[in-house]
Amino acid sequence: MTGPAVSVRDLRFAYPDGHQALFGVDLTVEAGERVALLGPNGAGKTTLALHLNGIHLPAHGAVEVGGLPVAKANLRELRRRVGIVFQDPDDQLFCATVREDVAFGPANLGHRGAELAARVDRALEVVDLADRADRSPHHLSLGERRRAALATVLSMEPDVLVLDEPTSNLDPAARRDLADLLGRLPQTLLVATHDLLWVLDVCERAVLFDGGRVVADGATREVLGDADLLARHRLELPRGVRLA
């Protein structure tokens, strides 16, 4: 990879029904940064995230990952470089066992034998699911399924991780476990979330979206400490919480 981990320049995007989701977004994320993508529903966070590995292709503007343009010709490498973990883990877990799910991606890249087994074992160890490898993913708790979905991405050895609402419906212990796990990972991290307090422990930078535009970009504590800014964009910290 060369240059920033992620570079987005004047990105505009409309869905086939005509809904304009992004209006000239600019964003640069350096390698190793941990960035929260914040904003109300429909702000454009997920639409942006889906451009990073080519699920959406830029209709106007440019997106690059490590210097590689997001374009049809580069989809195979982009999907190796950028791993997206969706909000619903069942969107990524469809095999009979956790091990098979985690092996699916690298096997499709051509890895076989000992190399494939090593990738799977490393990914399961990182997410603390080695002892669940031969269980059905649908017999796991929600927190375990989220970690299994993360393992399916980690086995691809990506440079950038994108997580969409990773703490949704998790209990406090599972939220803490996930924060601790992400803190140990070396990848560049982008997290689209409404969980404002949780990202304080995970992301040092926050980018606030609204109406398909970036409206604030700064240190997470500073962005979340601006109550007026949050209120203008339909966000708020839990009652009684104040950040100085």
Residues in the chain: 244
Cβ proximity of 24 and 67 under 8 Å: no
Write down the domain spans for the chain: 6-232
Measured distance CA(206)–CA(17) in Å, rounded: 30
DSSP state of 89: G
DSSP state of 126: H
Q: Per-residue pLDDT for the chain (244 aa), expressed as one digit of tens each? A: 678 999 999 999 999 999 999 999 999 999 999 999 999 988 999 999 999 999 999 989 999 999 999 999 999 999 999 999 999 999 999 999 999 999 999 999 899 999 999 999 999 999 999 999 999 999 999 999 999 999 999 999 999 999 999 999 999 999 999 999 999 999 999 999 999 999 999 999 999 999 999 999 999 999 999 999 999 999 988 776 777 5
Q: Which candidate, 179, 175, 129, 176, places its Cα nearest to that of 152?
A: 129
The pTM of the full predicted model, rounded to 2 decimals, is 0.93
Cβ proximity of 142 and 170 under 8 Å: yes
Cβ proximity of 24 and 9 under 8 Å: no
What CATH number should be reported for the domain whose range is 6-232?
3.40.50.300
Q: Which two tokens stand for residue 161?
A: 């991780």
